[in-house]
Amino acid sequence: MSDIHLGTLYVVATPIGNLEDLSPRAARVLGEVALVAAEDTRHTSRLLRHLGLSVPMLSLHEHNEAARVEQLDRRLLGGESIALVSDAGTPLISDPGFVLVRELRARGRRIVPVPGACALVAALCASGLPTDRFLFQGFLPAKGGARRQRLKDLALREETLVFYESPHRIRDALADIGAELGARRLVLARELTKSFETFLEGDAERLLACMQADPDQARGEFVIMVAGAEPKEGGDTASVEAHALLAALLDEGVGVKQAAAVAARLLGGAKKTWYGQAQALKEAR
């Protein structure tokens, strides 16, 4: 029995490479909705042709997402169901869709996830790194200074760190990871589910050497996974107290900037360092 309902927005995960990863449910929903809102209609049209579907499409990307809300909401109110898809994987995970989902949910519209492929999860489960706790940071900043500062802010986090990266910045990102986080164990997943899927393992220096020896290893889309910081032996009382202080301030509604200023005044250290820790704590909640 169909689970399409009037006025429903379906958030549909699509393959990240291998078309066999599209679920039967996702294929059915794509065939039953009145409209597909796609990050790139040209890209999604290839998937629809593969499925033998001819469904109207509308572009929805980071530059027009806010402007599309009213248009799509009118169609939902008119009884039409819509599928939201990104170019690959699960929408909203470092892809457009957050603004649309947030606004429609605030208006009481029905939002239904249709789960499936996600590069982050696929990479982690095959990495051999701890997965009980991890911190996903999306794409690192494009500019070197901001990228290095982000890595400094994450240096004490004990969870596995996960980033997405593009081919034209992968070498710079690895170099900065090595400089700021040291010789930690890294696992680099490349071209997941595709013909040239590769997992490289080692510290940043070793992975850069692999790319120097074989430039093809710098091609494709990447998931970078970095081992978390080693826990302090016997626990670090100062770190625990600092974490508790920041958490309490954030719980009371204090902003990240103000929390950092209070921590610096009470515990010492640079405001910038406390700001990074407070921001990371807020994002991890």
Q: What pTM, to 2 d.p., does this model score? A: 0.79
pLDDT at 234 over 50: no
Domain C-terminal end among 102, 117, 132: 117
At residue 222 the predicted structure's pLDDT band, cuts being 50, 70 and 90, is: very high
**Percent of all residues in the chain with a pLDDT value above 70, rounded to a whole number:** 95
Take residue 137 and report the two structure tokens written for it: 């940071």
pLDDT digits (tens, 9 = 90+) for 16-45: 999 999 999 999 999 999 999 999 999 999
Asked whether residue 32 is assigned to any structural domain, the reply reads: yes
**Which residue segment(s) compose the domain that 72 sits in?**
8-117
CATH number at residue 176: 3.30.950.10
Take residue 81 and report the two structure tokens written for it: 């169901």
* pLDDT of the residue at 270: 79
* Beta sheet of 110-114, edge-to-edge order: 57-59, 35-38, 82-85, 8-12, 110-114
Rounded Cα distance between 100 and 98, Å, is: 5
Please tell me whether residue 5 adopts helix, strand or coil conformation.
Answer: coil
Mean pLDDT taken over the chain = 92
| 127 and 113, same domain (yes or no) | no
pLDDT digits (tens, 9 = 90+) for 53-86: 999 999 999 999 999 999 999 999 999 999 999 9
Q: Within a 10 A sphere around the Cβ of 210, how many other Cβ atoms? A: 17
Average pLDDT over residues 138-163: 95
User: What total number of domains does the chain contain?
Assistant: 3
pLDDT at 206 over 60: yes
